[in-house]
């Protein structure tokens, strides 16, 4: 176990250096820089000379490697710089927005589980029945409907027509319900189908038949054997898609005015606020890494074969 974690940490260090360098290069190769935003050319009289001067002062004319070197030296000292636009320290900004984004993601995952586990299980158990048909239809609709539209429909229903829930902002739990449900519905369609096919495969395994022969109850067979066996592929997909899930939160954050980091980074990209973009990518890389590590570790728990193999190789 310790050996795995140590190896992971070495991996992550190189991974971070690689990903920050790649993002640094890509962001700076994109046309435009933050100088015009900083000088607020849309409202203030600026001469071309002043634009060039600031570009020089901020080091945007230096070679890319030199600029990255500066960033890396600061990064090693845990100095992530300040936003060009607001002047706030980058990590402070990200840490202010991150809880909201994580809350929203977590809320959506809970909604997803509440929908996907029953629907996926029922679909697999009663294959080709009307329940299966309904859940498959719902999955297709869920995958096809854009999340912002779904969000607007939910706002119209629960905020305008019956006035039960606030449609925007971040306050108590009630402000989380609509955005989390919207996002949860949007992602659950994938997992319903995934869980269904994974369960069908599990239910056809030898050990399920052996269990039935031993006279175990259907309930026990399903929950302790089949279900557990069908989770690894689902978790793998989850591990892979967590990054895109956090990225996909942006639309929901804008719609529900939920102050997370998704929207913050979209603005940062538009304004070419390099330090904030770099900080965001760094934090996201770490989060994705942590989630994937958890996924790896959960395999060992869910799939006893892995432990057996390890024991065999260590003999």
User: Which positions lie near another protein, rule CB under 8 A?
Assistant: 30-33, 36, 38-51, 54, 85-88, 93, 96-97, 114-115, 148, 151-152, 155-156, 158-160, 162-175, 177, 181, 254-260, 263-264, 270
- Closest approach of Cβ 172 to another protein, in Å? 3
- Closest approach of Cβ 92 to another protein, in Å? 9
What's 58's DSSP letter? T
- Closest approach of Cβ 191 to another protein, in Å? 15
Q: Which is nearer to another protein, 121 or 167 (CB)?
A: 167
Q: How far, in whole angstroms, is CA 215 from its chain's centroid?
A: 43
- Closest approach of Cβ 165 to another protein, in Å? 7
- Closest approach of Cβ 303 to another protein, in Å? 32
Residue that is written with structure tokens 């949007």 in the block: 186
- 249's CB contacts (< 8 A; 6+ apart) are 101, 104, 105, 108, 183, 260, 262
What's 162's DSSP letter? S
Q: Which is nearer to another protein, 33 or 139 (CB)?
A: 33
Q: Which is nearer to another protein, 1 or 173 (CB)?
A: 173
Q: Which is nearer to another protein, 147 or 230 (CB)?
A: 147
CA distances from 30 to 20, 27, 297, 303 (A): 16, 5, 38, 45
Q: Which is nearer to another protein, 11 or 52 (CB)?
A: 52
Cα 108 to Cα 110: distance, rounded to the nearest angstrom = 5
- Which phi and psi angles does 112 have, rounded to 5°? -60, -45
């Amino acid at each position: 176990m310790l050996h795995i974690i140590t190896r992971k940490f070495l991996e992550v260090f190189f991974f971070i250096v690689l990903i920050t360098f790649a993002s640094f290069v890509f962001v700076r190769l994109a046309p435009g820089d933050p100088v015009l935003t900083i000088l607020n050319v849309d409202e203030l009289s600026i001469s071309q000379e002043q634009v060039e001067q600031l570009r020089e002062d901020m080091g945007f004319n230096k070679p890319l490697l030199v600029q990255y070197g500066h960033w890396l030296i600061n990064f090693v000292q845990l100095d992530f710089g300040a936003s060009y636009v607001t002047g706030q320290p980058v990590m402070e900004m990200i840490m202010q927005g991150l809880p909201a984004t994580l809350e929203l993601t977590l809320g959506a995952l809970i909604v997803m589980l509440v929908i996907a586990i029953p629907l996926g299980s029922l679909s697999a158990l009663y294959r080709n029945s009307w329940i299966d048909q309904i859940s498959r239809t719902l999955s297709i609709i869920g995958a096809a409907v854009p999340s912002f539209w779904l969000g607007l429909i939910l706002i119209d229903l629960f905020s305008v027509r019956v006035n039960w829930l606030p449609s925007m902002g971040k306050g108590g739990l009630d402000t989380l319900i609509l955005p989390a449900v919207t996002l949860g519905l949007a992602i659950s369609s994938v997992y319903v189908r995934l869980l269904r096919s994974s369960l069908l495969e599990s239910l056809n395994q030898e050990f399920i038949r052996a269990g039935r022969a031993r006279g175990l109850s259907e309930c026990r067979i399903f929950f302790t054997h089949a279900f557990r066996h069908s989770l690894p592929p689902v978790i793998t997909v989850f591990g892979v898609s967590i990054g895109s899930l956090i990225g996909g939160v942006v639309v929901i954050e804008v719609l529900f005015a939920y102050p997370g980091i998704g929207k913050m980074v979209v603005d940062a990209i538009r304004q070419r606020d390099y330090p904030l973009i770099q900080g965001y990518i760094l934090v996201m890389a770490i989060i994705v890494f942590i989630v994937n590590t958890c996924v790896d570790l959960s395999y060992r728990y869910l799939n006893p074969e892995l432990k057996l193999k390890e024991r065999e190789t260590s003999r």
